[in-house]
Structure 1
Amino acid sequence: MPRRGEPLTKLGFLTIGRFDEASPREGHLETIEVIQRAEDLGFDSVWLRDRHLQFGISSPVAVMAAAAMKTSRIELGTAVIPLGLENPFRLAEDLATVDLLSDGRVNPGVSVGTPMRYDDYKAALYPDTHDVEDFSKERVLRLLHCLRGDPVSPFEGTVGIENFSRRVQPHSPGLVDRVWYGGGLSSAIWAGQQQLNYLTSSVVTSEGSDSADFATIQGEQIDAYLASHPDPARARVSQGLVVIPTDTATPDQIRRYQDYAESRFERTLTPQGPRKMLFAPDLVGPSDELAEKLYAHAGFQRASEVAFALPFSFEPADYVQIISDMATHLGPALGWTPSA
């Protein structure tokens, strides 16, 4: 665990992969280039957000397939795929295919629950079944069942010249052990019981906690996950916050980054909505100052790796500066060593 004096094991970042509606190809190619740059800088992982009916990545598995052909080492994750919009059987086929193409580098992060703004498009998504779809954790179990290679059909054999398997094909051994799950306290406990890896983010649900402090709540949820895992030494925990190092940033960039963080600060003061969602403040500044704040953060102290979230609305040159400073300044300040 990366407490002061202990090295950070893995450094990664999360991107929304935004694009202009008038030229979506350029935005997707820009994301591929960011992943290539990250590998060159020694990052251990890049994670893709999943956005539907928005101007960000809607098909992270397809983007990972393209990135796999342009890279050789870096891990490719999703944070997260909302399974309410997916068929677990078909998703398992796609994930296994890309995992094999990438030589075992895929880290699927998933979530469940009613999809965001579901009523707006449920008839287009599930014309005949939108009112009876099961958005519970059972959807995760169906995905794990398929990825594990358990039988999904009673038939195996040949019909004419066609050969059929009982399990989803292709099968990628080890992929099921790289599935991640995120959520609040009850989800953390469930993820541990299922021996899934645990994703945290810059948002927590404060239900079940007496604290109003984001870091304390995140730490409590990680503790609950590890206590529920039958083999906590093998469990992976990733912490995600918005962290923007400014070591080589221009004065204009620093001003814009600070304005961005300040515009989002008010939402961090009190829990939001019926689920009492609490947002973490964005961290902006030189890497030595950021390292001090992270070492004091209860969530960071309990994580084995990080995937810092890139802000949504900056320019390509800004992202180059941010990830470059992460790799060359912030990572070393946290005791991290770039991968060869």
Structure 2
Amino acid sequence: MKKIGFLSFGHWSPSPQSQTRSASDTLLQSIDLAVAAEELGADGAFFRVHHFARQLASPFPLLAAIGAKTSRIEIGTAVIDMRYENPLYMAEDAGAADLISGGRLQLGISRGSPEQVIDGWRHFGYQPSEGETDADMGRRHADVFLDILRGEGFAEPNLRPMFPNPPGLLRLEPHSEGLRERIWWGASSNATAIWAAQKGMNLQSSTLKNDETGEPFHIQQAAQIRAYRNAWKEAGHAHAPRVSVSRSIFALISDMDRSYFGGGRPDEDKVGFIDEQTRAIFGRSYAAEPTELIGQLRQDEAIAEADTLLLTVPNQLGVEYNVHVIKTILEQVAPALGWR
């Protein structure tokens, strides 16, 4: 059994071919898709965060709105770039969204990836300390965020406050109990996956990973997941970890499916460089008739290792088509693989 949700990057474009032509379209359709996915029986609605781009960027208003309009589905991010974040303000926003949803927030964070602008986090008022890289700064922000989510007091109260205070040091409010155990780290390397395990964070592993062995993507990703779980066990955390992978998966059952994704050429992993030093491997997409698709997915070792699968959806094709994509996977593919 697996939890199956969707992951949207929230692209929008004024192009006539796009069903999401504005930021408003993307936000409102994201809410509609999450509501429809819950009705289908999907388990999660997750959203990517990119700044300075025609994509989703401010997750907490969206997550709170979805939380208010749904009752069961998990809501989350994959991922928030911590280089851009004020961890204290973020803890307040996250606590509020989690309380509105009744404790369904699954918040994916990371040190981030190459962005649309040079050192975009500087425009948000942040810069690495002396001797730090921007990645170090992102992890430092994450450490502060995780510490705040414990809910312990740290701020000395005013002797003459506007409102009465409880005794002792004050914590940030609103505090949502249990949210600390629902934080995920997006790891692109084995080392960062191990670090996430040591910190007690769940693991999000996407369709991009540092190419560390030259093996096929799904084999490297499966090894990363096993390394993460071993590190979790060694750390001695009291609760069980969760692991998600994301995939582009399309069952071709209609002429429209075939026109969009039935290119007729077998998809393969791709290798490239995400910066001047980091060689990365990009996982393949899956698009085939259901019977063939089931056979292909059985060979994916990383999906087998994960407990949660996020289906990356082409949001610019509109809510109706993406509901069809999710429904087809849930009904015609997942049961044959034992995921349902």
| 1:118 shift after superposition | 4.8
Displacement of 1:290 in angstroms is 2.2
Instruction: Please report how far the alpha carbon of residue 122 of structure 1 lies from its aligned counterpart in structure 2 after TM superposition.
Output: 4.7
Shift of 1:117: 4.1
Matched letter for residue 29 of structure 2: E
Q: What CA distance in whole angstroms lies between the structure 2 residues aligned with 1:278 and 1:244?
A: 21
Cα shift at 1:159:
1.4
The 2-side partners of 1:23 and 1:154 are apart by: 45
- What corresponds to 2:5 in structure 1? 12
Aligned ranges 1:28-107 → 2 under 5 Å = 28-107=27-106
**Structure 1 segment 101-250 matched on structure 2, within 5 A:** 101-113=100-112, 116-119=115-118, 121-126=120-125, 129-130=126-127, 132=129, 135-155=137-157, 159-161=161-163, 163=165, 166-183=170-187, 184-207=189-212, 209=213, 211-230=214-233, 234-247=240-253, 250=254
Distance of 1:101 and 1:113 partners within structure 2: 27
CA distance in 2, matches of 1:147, 1:272: 35
Secondary structure of 1:109's partner?
strand
Q: Distance in 1 between matches of 2:151 and 2:159?
A: 17
AA in 2 matched with 1:195: G
* 1:312–1:23 Cα change, 3 Å: closer
Code of the aligned partner of 1:92: A
CA–CA distance in structure 1, aligned partners of residues 64 and 9 of structure 2: 16
**CA-to-aligned-CA distance 1:74-129 (integer Å, 9 cap, x gap):** 00010000011111111010001110110000000000157624526455322xx5
The gaps in structure 2 that reach 5 residues or longer are: 15-20
Check 1:156–1:43 CA distance in 2 against 1; reply closer, same or farther (3 A cut): farther
2-structure distance, mates of 1:157, 1:254: 68
Task: Kindly tell me the number of residue pairs found equivalent between the two proteins.
Answer: 321
**CA-to-aligned-CA distance 1:203-244 (integer Å, 9 cap, x gap):** 11113x3x3310111011001100100358811111111111
Of 294, 297, 315, 2:297 maps to 294
Tell me the distance in 1 between the aligned counterparts of 2:246 and 2:217: 12
Over the aligned positions, Cα root-mean-square deviation in angstroms equals 2.5
The TM-score normalised by the length of structure 2 is 0.86
Aligned in 2, Cα 1:218/1:301: closer, same or farther, shift over 3 Å? Answer: same
Alignment of 1:276-315 (within 5 A): 276-311=279-314, 313-315=316-318
DSSP 3-state at the match of 1:226? helix
- Separation in 2, partners of 1:298, 1:291: 13
Work out the CA distance in 2 between the residues paired with 1:100 and 1:256: 39
TM value normalised by structure 1: 0.86
